[in-house]
Amino acid sequence: GWYAGEPMLKAFEGITRVAQEALIDREPFSADVALLVDEASFAHVRSDDLTRQLVGEVVAKMPTAGVTWDFYLLSDIGDPGLPAYRLYIVLNAVTMDEATRARLIDKARADGATILYQYAPSYAGAQTLDAGAIPRATGLTADMTGEGPAPYLLKAGTWLSQGLDATLPFGPANRINPRPVVDASEGQALATYADGAGVAVAESVVDGVTTVYCAAAAMPPELLRNVARKAGAHVYCETNDAFYTD
């Protein structure tokens, strides 16, 4: 096997010794950003482009966002041992119930953190689809009656467009059905759908917690970086190169 040779075993012996010496002085470390995936919601969203974009692609591209991040289940949010974070990214919580939402809000408020929601949080109930549940999480209502392309254009001059070309479309290239269109009258519009359908990304405040709602599925690393920066996270890398630290 690959690890059976004497030189390889000697190398691992040296690595182990260095690691043991380093761990003596190692201090606990937690990242600035926490990704939360809702395992229950996988049963309520088709296993297609939407699921891949909400979860798989965000996780795969997070190393290029230039910030430190950890990964949890949404059900971990009530764990008293969960560290404090600057930003909570809720990837796919279409079935998030009120108790979980309350725990998330309490945690974010205690941390002074921002919450970023993707697509349609709390939209799928036990028996019905209810767009009226979305604003309880996001602070913003969303029309879920239509479908359409996901790409969106940033509103120039907002913090989300910092350092980016607001004339270029962002977001997935596919269509979304249903596609949430946000009513930003109770918040600040940050991006609109490229086809002119309405607001795709907006900011609001829910129970004292700043929330960012990306209705158009997921954000690319450039936008996640700006959201994290706005939330107070330290940005280590701006070049979309993969970055890791602990």
d(CA 186, CA 202): 10
Q: Is 84 left (phi over 0), alpha (psi -120 to 50) or beta?
A: beta
d(CA 120, CA 112): 23
Per-position b or e across 166-188, b if 16+ CB within 10 A of its CB: eeeebbbeeebebbbbbebeebb
120 within 8 A of 138, measured Cβ to Cβ = no
Provide the pLDDT for residue 45. 81
What's the angle, vertex CA 208, arms to CA 207 and CA 213, rounded to 5? 80
More confident residue, 165 or 12: 165
65 within 8 A of 221, measured Cβ to Cβ = yes
Find the mean pLDDT for residues 134-159. Answer: 96
Confidence tier at 124 by pLDDT (50, 70, 90): very high
Flag whether pLDDT at 2 surpasses 70.
no
Confidence tier at 239 by pLDDT (50, 70, 90): very high
More confident residue, 152 or 218: 152
202 within 8 A of 140, measured Cβ to Cβ = yes
The answer to pTM > 0.95 is no
Flag whether pLDDT at 179 surpasses 60.
yes
DSSP for 71-102, please give it. EEEGGGGG-TTPPP-SEEEE-S-TT--HHHHH
**pLDDT tens figures, 180-236:** 999 999 999 999 999 999 999 999 999 999 999 999 988 999 999 999 999 999 999
Q: Which of 62, 69, 73 is nearest to 96 (CA)?
A: 73
